[in-house]
């Protein structure tokens, strides 16, 4: 008899707020400074700095995608 009395209670949906995306993931990606006077010998360092910046941005985008996948799974 106790189990039957609870059978008429309608289910109540509780809205769940998704966690915000951290600000460091949505911040602008830094660009390497290009000096006004530049020689060819400076190019490898500039390229390395640019590639590091791109790699960091890609990691941020990957983290955002993972957050979105978790949101959709809920």
In the block, which residue shows the tokens 């890609």? 58
Q: CA–CA separation, 23 vs 47, rounded Å?
A: 27
Residue 17 is assigned to a structural domain of this protein = no
- Going by C-alpha positions, the residue among 22, 32, 21 that lies closest to residue 54 is 32
Tens digit of each residue's pLDDT (9 = 90 or more) over 15-40: 877 778 888 888 888 888 888 898 99
Number of domains comprising the chain:
1
The model's pTM:
0.65
Range(s) of the domain holding residue 65? 22-73
Flag whether pLDDT at 7 surpasses 70.
no
Residue with the larger pLDDT of the pair 45 and 1: 45
- Going by C-alpha positions, the residue among 64, 45, 41 that lies closest to residue 53 is 45
């Amino acid at each position: 008899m106790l189990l039957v009395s609870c059978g008429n209670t309608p289910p109540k949906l509780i809205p769940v707020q998704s966690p915000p995306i951290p600000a460091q993931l949505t911040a602008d990606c830094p660009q390497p400074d290009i000096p006004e006077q530049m020689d060819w010998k400076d190019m490898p360092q500039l390229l390395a700095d640019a590639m590091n910046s791109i790699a960091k941005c890609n990691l941020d985008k990957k983290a955002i995608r993972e957050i979105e996948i978790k949101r959709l799974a809920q």
